[in-house]
Amino acid sequence: MKQGRYAMNCQHTVADEKIGSILYLARHGETTFNVENRMGGDPPLTDRGIQQAFRVADLLKDLRIDTIFCSTLLRSKRTAEIIHSCHRDSFLVEISELVEFDAGELDSLTY
């Protein structure tokens, strides 16, 4: 997986008509912290979270996807890797700026 920033030209041609980029957003699958009501952290996906990621991959499999961006967190990377399994010609790029927040001292605590 390539790390860092990636710039691309996202012009697509549909029936000789140029259109701009289309952005699809997907949240990571369920994590162990989601089940335990824990905040932040970098937990792995649960079996259910892996199934959810495969469901998203299945929903997106017939779409043209040039690049898949994800954060550097395990849950995000694993979800992106599963989606990428249906889009082997696309770029898979980790971007640290996509990490949502730092919970500080509250990291990994339950709520």
Please say if 12 is a catalytic residue. no
Q: How far is CA 2 from CA 6, 21, 36, 41, in A?
A: 9, 21, 32, 23
Q: Which of 17, 97, 100, 105 is catalytic?
A: 100
Q: Which of 12, 28, 36, 105 is catalytic?
A: 28
Please say if 97 is a catalytic residue. no
Q: How far is CA 46 from CA 9, 10, 50, 67, in A?
A: 35, 34, 6, 25
Question: What secondary structure letter does DSSP report for 89?
Answer: T
SS3 65: coil
Which positions are catalytic?
28, 100
